[in-house]
């Protein structure tokens, strides 16, 4: 297996942004990975694991270390148990959506509403991906991981994954474990539970007509996602994003009521919000739109998708700095108008490793850009 030097990273990300990695390796077996780890130790390198690059913003300065891009791609489907449940073991380098395709063919439920989410199985577990009422954590059984420092493999059970909203124990700048394989347990498709889950999470529209099968749910989800630019298409720049750039903020009941009261006063209707553990979840896309930004808003080299206000896209020649500048403009304006701080969902890889996206919330009231930024289609 080849360890490449000064390897360009932008083609490995859905944003198409990023400088070079000092070293790059794509191991397709555990032995190859062990060989890479020997190289890492001999050369005392920093490591970053890159799956499908669909939730990663890489700095234009690249990464001064080794990027490991897992290429293990085996999938094993067990036979159904007495109740029709099926366990599937998926290597980290597999494309997550390929697993969904096979699951719905077998009319299995649990991941069909996550159809069309780009990226790998490894990335899906680390991120605890979710959509339309389903989350990876719901079907996750365990993951086989290898420690990058000791080279030892072990199993992590669901209870040790600390899954949360778009996060897990492995989504952590200090994480030293690479996911090798993930085991999921899928249920036989059941129309009543599909309708109930969609309704409970505010997606009743998706199941107004009862879905006939897991494939039928997949078709509906893909149709909706495409209309929002949320299916990555290499030929469609409007989808060259990391999906939602920010997570939906959870605020106190008081803050939610304050924002809602102001909205009702000027619009005569209530804003979208959902009660969750610890407070009220607001829609980050709604806040951005209400702050005055419209779809397609262009700021230096980066833009908002023409189909979704929460997706920052690379229309062609964006730099990482352009994406960060636009993220700042959105977050600062929302903070100024609603007193809510948006948090990025994206992983930001700099020359020296993972860092928080540099958002600056200082001096909002003095910033004319923040006061006026949303009035035109351009910054
Ligand atoms: C158009 C579009 C739509 C999207 N829609 C959604 C959506 O609806 N819901 C949603 O939740 N997400 C969505 N996303 C975000 C993204 O697809 C998911 O977060 C995805 O799971 C990331 O997987 P990846 O392999 O691309 O991860 P990467 O971006 O490569 O990596 C993400 C993180 O996982 C770590 N990682 C990756 N693989 C491994 C591994 N094997 N072992 C250890 N760590 C690893 C990386 O180090 C990094 O910290 C969307 C993205 C795009 C571009």
Tens digits of residue pLDDT in 277-336: 899 999 999 999 999 999 999 998 999 999 999 999 999 999 999 999 999 999 999 999
Quote the ligand 1 centre to 244 CA distance (angstroms): 11
Determine whether the shortest distance from the Cβ of 26 to ligand 1 is under 6 A. no
Q: Is 248 in the pocket of ligand 1 (CB under 6 A)?
A: no
Structural domains of the chain, ranges and CATH numbers in brackets: 3-68 (3.30.43.10), 75-227 (3.30.465.10), 237-346+354-375 (3.90.78.10)
How far is ligand 1, taken at its centre, from the CA of residue 54, in Å? 5
CA of 129 to the centre of ligand 1 (A): 7
Ligand 1 pocket member 18 (CB < 6 A): no
The verdict on the CB of residue 120 being under 6 Å from ligand 1 is: yes
Percent of the chain with pLDDT over 90: 88
Report the atom number in ligand 1 closest to the C-alpha of 49: 47
What confidence score (pLDDT) does residue 173 get?
77
State both tokens at 205: 């529209």
pLDDT of 376 = 66
| Ligand 1 contact via 116 beta carbon (within 6 Å) | no
**Does 245 contact ligand 1 (Cβ within 6 A)?**
no
How far is the C-alpha of 157 from the C-alpha of 140, rounded, in Å?
8
Q: How far apart are CA 12 and CA 349, in angstroms?
A: 13
| pLDDT attached to residue 374 | 63
> Could you tell me the distance, in angstroms and rounded to a whole number, from the CA of residue 107 to the centre of ligand 1?
25
Determine the pLDDT at residue 1. Answer: 63
> Which among 113, 168, 345, 373 is annotated as catalytic?
345
Low-confidence ranges of the chain (pLDDT < 70): 1, 373-376
- Taking the centre of ligand 1 as the mean of its atom positions, its distance from the CA of residue 257, in whole angstroms, is 33
Beta strand 302-304 with 298-299 is antiparallel
Q: Given this model, what pLDDT does residue 100 score? A: 98
How confident is the model at residue 204, as a pLDDT? 87
Cβ–ligand 1 contact at 19 (below 6 Å) = no
The predicted pLDDT at position 81 comes to: 97
Catalytic residue among 26, 113, 183, 244: 244
User: How far does the centroid of ligand 1 lie from the alpha carbon of residue 114, in Å?
Assistant: 12
Is the C-beta atom of 65 inside 6 A of ligand 1?
no
Asked if 10 is an active-site residue, the reply is no
For ligand 1, atom 4, name the residue with the nearest CA: 243
CA R_g for the chain = 21
The answer to whether 168 is a known catalytic residue is no
Ligand 1 pocket test, candidate residues 54, 95, 350, most atoms within 8 A of CB? 54
- Residue 221 CB–ligand 1 contact under 6 Å: no
């Amino acid at each position: 297996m080849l360890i490449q030097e000064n390897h360009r990273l932008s083609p490995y990300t859905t944003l198409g942004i990023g400088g070079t990695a000092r070293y790059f390796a794509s191991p397709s077996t555990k032995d190859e990975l062990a060989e890479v780890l020997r190289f890492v130790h001999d050369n005392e390198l920093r490591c970053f694991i890159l799956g499908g690059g669909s939730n990663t913003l890489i700095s234009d300065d690249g990464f001064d270390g080794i990027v490991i891009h897992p290429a293990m791609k085996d999938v094993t489907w067990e036979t159904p148990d007495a109740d029709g449940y099926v366990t599937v073991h998926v290597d980290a380098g597999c494309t997550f959506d390929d697993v969904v395709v096979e699951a719905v063919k077998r009319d299995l439920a649990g991941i069909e509403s996550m159809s069309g989410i780009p990226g790998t199985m490894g990335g899906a577990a680390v991120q605890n991906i979710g959509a339309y009422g389903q989350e990876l954590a719901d079907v996750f059984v365990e993951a086989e991981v290898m420690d990058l420092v000791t080279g030892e493999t072990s199993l992590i059970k669901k209870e040790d994954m600390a899954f949360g909203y778009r996060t897990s124990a492995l989504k952590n700048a200090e994480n030293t474990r690479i996911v090798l394989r993930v085991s999921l347990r899928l249920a036989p498709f059941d129309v009543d539970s599909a309708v109930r889950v969609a309704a409970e999470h505010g997606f009743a529209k998706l199941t107004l007509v009862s879905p006939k099968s897991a494939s039928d749910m997949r078709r509906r989800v893909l149709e909706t996602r495409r209309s929002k630019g949320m299916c990555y298409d290499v030929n469609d720049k409007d989808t060259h994003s990391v999906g939602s750039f920010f997570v939906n903020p959870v605020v106190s009941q008081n803050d939610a009521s304050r924002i809602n009261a102001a909205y009702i006063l000027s619009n005569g209707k209530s804003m979208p919000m959902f009660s969750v553990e610890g407070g009220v979840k607001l829609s980050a896309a709604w806040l951005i739109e209400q702050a005055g930004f419209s779809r397609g808003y262009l700021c230096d080299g980066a833009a908002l998708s023409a189909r979704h206000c929460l997706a920052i896209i690379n229309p062609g020649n964006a730099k990482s700095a352009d994406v960060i500048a636009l993220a700042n403009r959105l977050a600062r304006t929302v903070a100024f108008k609603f007193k809510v701080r948006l948090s990025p969902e994206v992983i930001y890889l700099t020359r020296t490793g993972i860092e928080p996206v540099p958002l600056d919330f200082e001096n909002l009231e003095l910033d004319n850009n923040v006061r006026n930024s949303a009035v035109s289609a351009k910054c």
